């Protein structure tokens, strides 16, 4: 029985704790949170031990793996300490708030040789994964256009936005990662436009809430990503990969299968109300992939390197937003 | 240039006249209607000659083919006379009001040897035809369940209903034909239930406006047909063929491709408002098949025999409605 | 903390045990199975106590509610004993193998006054429940046609079929219940045709694997139910309620949202491979409704009475299958 | 009876000729083409007179309106001459090959005061028009993101590409017009990336066949347009307008309604094979709008001004493709 601890038991940390607890062949040994009440609550729900001092987790030789789900500004610290303690690590995205900080952390973690998986869970959504598989099998031929949509459902609190690093680093970063993963390719040109169309407060904080990023990949493929902090009709996430032989998509999905035919219309159930309902199951799949890597001694994927790359793209897109100019990168 | 005349230029006759007029390699030579004003109107719209006396058409040796689109109670008369005059005939369904009358007419027409096609135009709807083709290719394996839906949009005038022969003979007959065609099989058992749920007047006239027919085919396949004279959401026609290896359907089709995402719903455009909009294009395809048969000297299909079979099924279903008993037929 | 025991920990019993275990405010106190190894396995997965003798459960005053998920032929026995012991009961459908046995059991259970809910879980499927809600709100007006489809994915083992009471009592019974629930109405006429189109062994056992049931309800509404033991494309369950003002459906649902556009086709992900994946979440919702009833002292629904009614319909449909005649019932 | 002539009877000119011929209340008086054989063919199909010298049309006082469907490089010439002759004009897009030429022509046409409609027929597609109507009614609130897709089915001949003015002026121009029309807004920033991913010959001719254009509108709304000269799965055109209150789309439309359920997939009919099949009906609707304007003496729309604006956007996008820089425009 692999013993696992979860550090950080806010919303997503609690999801991870429950998933560890129900995963066969694994034991949720301990949970920790800067707010001990949160840890106790997660412990009660899962049967794990609540630990007040995270050092107990790092010192416990029986705990082989940790999930880091703390606020972004603490990732680098926990990541470094957990790596030094020799733990296998599942770390929520992003690695850090800026690329420099993240790169330094990655260097130091690499020296320890511990396996690390970065929490780009969307790769594990069943429909997205089926798209990736179709592309990898060559079903659409050579990739030419990728279209990624992510919207809503509502802006986070302005306090969160202020420390989030901006829409590119906080929200769009998932799609920078999906783009690299889907195409197995790297960007050579990034251009972004955006505005604070949803919330004046977001604009005053120097951020955008609505944006379009255009990218050219080394292969010549073109990509567009549209992001919005608010979709009045629920959470809307969509992937489309168009190539020389066809097109494959991960479609919008209605939250139920009811439809009402009235007058001149068909009224269907709409989107999932929130992002979590839409992609909830991908968290378990991501954790499962991590645990398999740990058990089999294989390299986890998405890797820290993937995290760095997406972070760099987010920085470059932020720079383009600021300057109004396309950023050209070496192929 | 094959010269064609259209006899009966009411709603559907006018559609046939326009289709003949725009069909390449064919000339619409003459149009006739018991109401000469109707004939003149159709003539003006197509450039054909309006003929007051139908005998002129039968006597005209240059006219090789006729389309009969007169009221049902005159079909047998025109059919017999056109056959005697040696014309190739496209005749609107049904052959007659009852099976006995129809069978007698068919015998007399057969003696003349003229080619006759019966206007079961739904066989020529592109989606229905694709279903037939898939079934014929064995895509669904051995057929086990057929489900046919036909609804609305609103009841015909009660005067029409009174002389129509009833819902089975007037409306459901198209689907009796589709069933035989799709399965290449014949019924051995028919059971029908129905009621006047839409219109009390239809009930008082001894007819039903809502019904379900269950059939067992010689192969063992089972079928259900639901018919309604009124669908509040437009015209709804659907085919589903389920077999040992899969299922194929001709789906409900929205009349446009607009969709609005609001709140917790997706509001799509609905069904076509009327049956004609939904199946309009099949009339041209049916006419085209008829003209090809005439030109190539092949046997037109659907044949008079198909017309008789469907008429018999309609009579039996009407009998089952009346008695509440299943009608068993020899395999 | 309401203490609950699960009796019978085969496939569905284990599902119930897991659901009780993860339901907040409830404790899974004990599990029992005629095969003690099964009970121990369920206990290990949930942290409950495995109990070798079911009497320990009935005798334990701390256990207020039981879930009965044993084989059908033992339902009446456990139901009666649990009722005498004063437990609230969630009982898997059907009540018994035939109506007489079931009715006797229901009489004796009623004398005890314990709350009993029958496990017609499909009522709790989110999409089906949305259809019910739309109908109840009058969205489709007066109900005229109900169409229910349930197919596949593959026949159960022939040993199971032989003791199942036949397709009507084992499979179609869920849809008899759905029909009554959706329409809030009772049947006055039942007619069924069927055959052993999938499995000769099922035919030799005197049962059918493919069937169509036609029903007329007291209100005049008509209904058709098609059932098949095998759908080559996964599990296919569908509801359609057509009324004077529109139509509402619980649609086929693809198991994922991937679609591939190639050549002249769009290749979508298909149905869920099995019935359990399709309706899994309804088991938790059903249990939740039961627990709410117990906590609030309200009458659970679906009730034993609902179970009896569906069982009677299944008996009548079986009789119609046998005789080829429609069964007329008093309105 | 308004008398109309069609000048240029290639593919699209012949479509216009047929549409004029079947439009009630209008007479197709004459057809002309630089290649007289083409004119004779169109005349035979419609009953109009084939005219060898276009001056006969301009001189004929009975002809009040002309449709110009000649090659792009002759538009300005015919437009100017037809205007001088006092004809009402329906002119195929674009006005000319470059903005300067077009602007000069527009000035000279305006002096004559004749009504001119520019052939941006996509505005008249039923689904697109329903999107426009929904946006105009405020169904989606304030527009924030517009996404336009137009792909395939295959590249035109390289000779055509060489004189077409490039992908922006020849293909994407329709979508520049749709964008202005849908948003009732003007661009303030345009950025385009593209490549010759489909055809090396197109690249050698200095053009692109795959491109993404990003635009910011004066209102702040953002837009992305992806264009490809080849979609392996048919013709793919799609509109999506996302706003503060919801989203509305003109969806991909399958060419038929057949679907086959096999194994783990649903195989639907795909897209229309070509652009013409998809938008054919919009040509008649556009012509109808033109004829109504002429009859009622109202200003036709889309106007020459609309043509100029779209042409300017195409020039700017072409400039961005060339320089790799965003083009900023005064709001």
Q: What is the 3-state secondary structure (H, E, C) of chain C?
A: CEEEEEECCCHHHHHHHHHHHHCCCEEEEEEECCCHHHHHHHHHHHCCEECCCHHHHHHCCCEEEEEECCCHHHHHHHHHHHHHCCCEEEECCCCCCCHHHHHHHHHHHHHHCCCEEECCHHHHCHHHHHHHHHHHCCCCCCEEEEEEEEECCCCCCHHHHHCCCCHHHHHHHHHHHHHHHHHCCCEEEEEEEEECCCCHHHHHCCCCCEEEEEEEECCCCEEEEEEECCCCCCCEEEEEEEECCEEEEECCCECCCEEEEECCEEEEECECCCHHHHHHHHHHHHHHHHHHHHHHCCCCCCCHHHHHHHHHHHHHHHHHHHHCCCEECCC
Between chains, do B247 and D257 touch, taking CB under 8 Å as contact? no
pLDDT digits over C173-221, tens only?
A: 999 999 999 999 999 999 999 999 999 999 999 999 999 999 999 999 9
Count CA within 13 A, CB hemisphere, residue D43.
18
B248 closest CA partner among D257, D237, A103: D257
Q: Nearest chain A Cα to B270, which residue?
A: A265
- Say if C261 is an interface residue toward chain D (CB within 8 Å): yes
C227-242 mean pLDDT: 97
| pLDDT confidence of residue B47 | 86
A278-290 mean pLDDT: 97
* Contact (CB, 8 A) for A67 and A5: yes
Pairing of strands A143-151, A236-243: antiparallel
pLDDT < 70: residue spans in chain B: 331
Question: Which chains pack against A, by 3+ Cβ pairs within 8 A?
Answer: B, C, D
Q: How far apart are CA B177 and CA B94, in angstroms?
A: 11
C146-159 mean pLDDT: 95
Spell out which residues of chain C touch residue A256, defining contact as CB-CB under 8 Å. Answer: 126-127, 130
| pLDDT confidence of residue D330 | 76
How far D142 CA sits from the closest chain A CA (Å)?
9
Between chains, do B212 and C144 touch, taking CB under 8 Å as contact? no
| pLDDT confidence of residue A45 | 87
- Say if B118 is an interface residue toward chain C (CB within 8 Å): no
- Say if B270 is an interface residue toward chain C (CB within 8 Å): no
Decide if pLDDT at C331 tops 70: no
Q: How far apart are CA D231 and CA D235, in angstroms?
A: 6
Spell out which residues of chain D touch residue B249, defining contact as CB-CB under 8 Å. Answer: 258-259, 261
pLDDT digits over C16-73, tens only?
A: 999 999 898 899 999 999 999 999 999 998 889 999 999 999 999 999 999 999 998 8
Q: Nearest chain C Cα to A140, which residue?
A: C262
* Contact (CB, 8 A) for A21 and A28: yes
**What is the number of CB-based contacts under 8 A between chain A and chain B?**
61
Number of helices (H) and strands (E), helices first, in chain D?
12, 15
For an interface test with D, the pick among C255, C265, C278 (most D C-beta atoms closer than 10 Å) comes out as C265
- Say if C137 is an interface residue toward chain A (CB within 8 Å): no
Band (pLDDT 50/70/90 cuts) for residue C1 is: confident
Q: How far apart are CA B80 and CA D111, in angstroms?
A: 67
How far A210 CA sits from the closest chain B CA (Å)?
18
- Say if B233 is an interface residue toward chain A (CB within 8 Å): yes
Question: Which residue's structure tokens are 């659409």?
Answer: A140
* Contact (CB, 8 A) for C256 and C95: no
- Say if D322 is an interface residue toward chain A (CB within 8 Å): no
pLDDT digits over C242-263, tens only?
A: 999 999 999 999 999 999 999 9
C219-231 mean pLDDT: 98
In chain C, pLDDT over 70 holds for what percent of residues? 100
How far C235 CA sits from the closest chain B CA (Å)?
11
B267: nearest CB among A232, A254, A267: A267
| pLDDT confidence of residue D154 | 94
Q: How far apart are CA B182 and CA B131, in angstroms?
A: 8
Spell out which residues of chain B touch residue C267, defining contact as CB-CB under 8 Å. Answer: none
Spell out which residues of chain C touch residue B221, defining contact as CB-CB under 8 Å. Answer: 197
C145: nearest CB among B210, B243, B245: B210
| pLDDT confidence of residue B331 | 67
Beta partners for A84? none
Question: Which residue's structure tokens are 């000649």?
Answer: D70
Give me chain D's average pLDDT, please: 96
- Say if D271 is an interface residue toward chain C (CB within 8 Å): yes
Spell out which residues of chain B touch residue C194, defining contact as CB-CB under 8 Å. Answer: 222
Residues 6+ apart with CB under 8 A from C129: C123, C285
* Contact (CB, 8 A) for B122 and B174: yes
Between chains, do A258 and C139 touch, taking CB under 8 Å as contact? no
For an interface test with B, the pick among D129, D132, D257 (most B C-beta atoms closer than 10 Å) comes out as D257
**What is the number of CB-based contacts under 8 A between chain B and chain D?**
71
| pLDDT confidence of residue D331 | 67
Between chains, do C263 and A269 touch, taking CB under 8 Å as contact? no
Q: At what angle do helices A173-183 and A304-323 cross, to 10 degrees?
A: 120
Between chains, do C246 and A263 touch, taking CB under 8 Å as contact? yes
Spell out which residues of chain C touch residue A261, defining contact as CB-CB under 8 Å. Answer: 246-249
Question: Which chains pack against B, by 3+ Cβ pairs within 8 A?
Answer: A, C, D
Q: What interface predicted TM-score (ipTM) does this complex get? A: 0.95
pLDDT digits over A66-95, tens only?
A: 999 999 889 999 999 999 999 999 999 999
How far D260 CA sits from the closest chain B CA (Å)?
4
In chain A, pLDDT over 70 holds for what percent of residues? 100
Q: Is the peptide bond before B199 cis (omega within 30 degrees of 0)?
A: no
- Say if B235 is an interface residue toward chain A (CB within 8 Å): no
How far C153 CA sits from the closest chain B CA (Å)?
11
Question: Coil, strand or helix: which one is A184?
Answer: coil
pLDDT < 70: residue spans in chain D: 331
**What is the number of CB-based contacts under 8 A between chain C and chain D?**
60
Between chains, do A260 and C126 touch, taking CB under 8 Å as contact? no
Torsion of CA C313, C317, C322, C325, to 10 degrees: 110
| pLDDT confidence of residue D127 | 97
- Say if B254 is an interface residue toward chain A (CB within 8 Å): yes
DSSP letters, B254-304, are BSS-EEEEETTEEEEE-B-SSHHHHHHHHHHHHHHHHHHHHHHTPPPSS-H
D258: nearest CB among B130, B140, B261: B130
* Contact (CB, 8 A) for B192 and B179: no
Q: How far apart are CA D331 and CA C152, in angstroms?
A: 61
Token reading at C72: 């059908």
How far A194 CA sits from the closest chain D CA (Å)?
7
């Amino acid at each position: 029985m692999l013993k696992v601890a979860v550090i950080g038991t806010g919303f997503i940390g609690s999801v991870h704790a429950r998933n560890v607890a129900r995963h066969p062949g694994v034991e949720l040994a301990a949970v920790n949170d800067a707010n001990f009440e949160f840890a106790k609550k997660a412990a009660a729900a899962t049967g794990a031990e609540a630990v007040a001092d995270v050092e107990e987790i790092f010192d416990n030789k029986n705990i082989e793996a940790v999930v880091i789900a703390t606020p972004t500004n603490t990732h680098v610290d926990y990541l470094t300490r957990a790596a030094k303690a020799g733990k296998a690590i599942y770390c929520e995205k992003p690695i850090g708030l800026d690329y420099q900080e993240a790169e330094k952390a990655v260097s130091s973690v690499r020296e320890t040789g511990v396996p690390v998986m970065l929490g780009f869970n969307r790769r594990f959504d069943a429909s997205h994964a089926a798209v990736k598989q179709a592309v990898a099998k060559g079903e659409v031929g050579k990739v030419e256009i990728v279209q990624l949509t992510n919207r809503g459902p509502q802006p986070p609190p302005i306090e969160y936005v202020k420390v989030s690093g901006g829409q590119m680093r906080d929200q769009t970063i998932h799609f920078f990662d999906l783009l690299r993963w889907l195409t197995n390719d790297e960007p050579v040109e990034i251009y972004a436009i955006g505005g604070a169309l949803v919330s004046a407060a977001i604009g005053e904080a120097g951020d955008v809430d609505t944006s379009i990023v255009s990218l050219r990949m080394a292969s010549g493929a073109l990509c567009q990503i549209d992001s919005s902090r608010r979709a009045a009709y629920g959470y809307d996430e969509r992937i489309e990969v168009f190539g020389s032989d066809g097109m494959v998509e991960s479609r919008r999905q209605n939250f139920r299968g009811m439809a009402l035919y009235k007058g001149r219309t068909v009224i269907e159930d709409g989107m999932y109300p929130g992002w979590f309902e839409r992609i909830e199951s991908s968290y378990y799949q991501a954790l499962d992939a991590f645990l398999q890597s740990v058990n089999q001694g294989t390299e986890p994927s998405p890797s820290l390197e993937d995290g760095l790359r997406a972070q760099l793209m987010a920085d470059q897109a932020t720079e383009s937003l600021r300057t109004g100019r396309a950023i050209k990168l070496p192929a």
